[in-house]
């Protein structure tokens, strides 16, 4: 068998199916590889076996070799253990960012090289271009589907060996292309959420690994307004699942999570969706990663996202001596969450990013002072 030049990560979804199709149409020597990243116990909706069958069917339709690799051990060690540690610390991690860095563009890339390939390809909505010897990560043309946010931890070595064949497409056009090519995944529903949880109840799943303790829900002034099942289960700005009944002297309005005190097992809530306790103008991060290998300057202006699909927010970035960054936004930001990713952009180019460590939200500052 001839060696492939490109190995496509086929997930059993329509995006990776069309990525493989486009490479075949371009005359590339292509093979597909399905990654099993989670040892599915059959109790959720991850449906790894169904996805694998779909990936096999796509490769058969395209006439390309199919390969399988089990990365569940690597995923557990590189992604899931960190996921649990972050929740235990009261933060809200983003496993998709780590999965891309630790599995898809590390172990998958190694596996492709073992098969003799020069490059890998994935069904991400992003673009990579080379200019002046430097590889740049750009947003996907479909801004509603752009996934560069999840790819900001990639560097020059990974980008130089990566293709994003659907980065120029709109999702609506992609499904039409898949249908016209007779791909069996053309009308398959997009996966949502975290794969290893699937459609299962998040609290039940997390409770298997992090036994939670019930505790008080308080307003920002310290008055008890209810009881929570465990601070791990909630994130800043969350409204669902609080189950606070009528509180005497309070209006019949929704409550929102505005803070977590893990050490004292207290969840703080407020009734205003734009509560001042949720707002911040500055944040500090852990060590930043730069796609080009270094920041554009010690201090610069750009735009940022503190969560996926957020509109670009103008900001000023200061690179600190320890490699972290301090970011100041032009306008106050709602529910900036430690553990999530700050991702920086210059126009369509993703510069890099970092995990958010803390913000200047009033309640967060108050709790930090009490802890000190």
Active site (catalytic) residues: 99, 195
The dihedrals phi and psi of 366, each to the nearest 5 degrees, come to -65, -45
DSSP class of residue 326? E
User: CB under 8 Å to 177, separation ≥6 — which residues?
Assistant: 18, 21, 169
- Rg (the chain; Cα; Å): 22
* CA–CA distance, 359 with 207 (Å, rounded to integer): 28
User: CB under 8 Å to 38, separation ≥6 — which residues?
Assistant: 46, 48, 72, 75, 195, 196
| Secondary structure percentages of the chain, helix, strand, coil, to 5 | 30, 30, 45
Phi-psi region of 199 (alpha: psi -120 to 50; beta: other; left: phi over 0): alpha
Spell out a b/e string for 109-145, using b for 16 or more CB atoms within 10 Å of the CB, else e. Answer: bebbeeeebebbbbbbbbbbeeeeeebbbbbbbbeeb
Whether the Cβ atoms of residue 17 and residue 185 lie closer than 8 Å to each other:
yes
Q: Which of 72, 58, 70, 50 is nearest to 24 (CA)?
A: 58
* CA–CA distance, 66 with 158 (Å, rounded to integer): 22
Joined tokens for residue 254: 């929704």
DSSP class of residue 343? E
Residue-wise DSSP of 125-140? SEEEEEETTEEEEEE-
Question: Which H helix or E strand runs over 173?
Answer: helix 171-180
């Amino acid at each position: 068998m001839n060696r492939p030049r490109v190995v496509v990560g086929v997930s059993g979804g329509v995006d990776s199916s069309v990525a493989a199709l486009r490479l075949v149409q371009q005359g590339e020597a292509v093979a597909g590889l399905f990654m099993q990243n989670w040892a599915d116990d059959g109790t959720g909706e991850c449906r790894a076996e169904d996805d694998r069958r779909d990936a096999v069917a796509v490769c058969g339709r395209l006439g390309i070799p199919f390969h399988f690799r089990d990365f569940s051990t690597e995923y557990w060690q590189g992604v899931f253990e960190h996921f649990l540690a972050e929740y235990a610390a009261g933060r809200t991690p983003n496993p998709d960012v780590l999965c891309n860095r630790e599995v898809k563009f590390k172990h998958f890339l190694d596996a492709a090289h073992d098969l003799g390939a020069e490059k890998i390809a994935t069904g991400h909505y992003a673009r990579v271009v080379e200019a002046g010897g430097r590889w740049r990560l750009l947003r996907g043309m479909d801004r509603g589907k752009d996934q560069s946010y999840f790819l900001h931890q990639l560097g020059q070595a990974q980008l130089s060996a990566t293709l994003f064949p659907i980065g120029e497409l709109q999702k609506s056009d992609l499904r039409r292309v898949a249908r016209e090519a007779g791909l069996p995944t053309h009308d398959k529903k997009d996966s949502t959420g975290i794969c290893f949880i699937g459609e299962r109840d998040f609290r039940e799943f997390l409770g298997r690994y992090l036994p939670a303790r019930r505790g008080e829900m308080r307003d920002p002034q310290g008055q008890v307004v209810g009881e929570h099942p465990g601070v791990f289960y909630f994130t800043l700005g969350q409204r669902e699942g609080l189950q606070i009944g009528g509180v005497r002297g309070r209006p019949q309005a929704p409550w929102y999570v505005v803070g977590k005190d893990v050490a004292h097992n207290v969840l703080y809530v407020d009734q205003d969706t734009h509560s001042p306790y949720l707002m911040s103008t500055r944040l500090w991060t852990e060590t930043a990663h730069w796609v080009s290998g270094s920041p554009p300057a010690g201090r610069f202006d750009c735009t940022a996202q503190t969560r996926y699909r957020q509109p670009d927010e103008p900001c000023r970035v200061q690179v600190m001596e320890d490699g972290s960054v301090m970011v100041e936004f032009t306008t106050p930001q709602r529910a900036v969450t430690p553990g999530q990713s700050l991702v920086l952009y210059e126009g369509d180019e993703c510069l890099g990013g970092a995990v958010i460590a803390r913000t200047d939200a009033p309640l967060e500052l108050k709790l930090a002072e009490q802890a000190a």
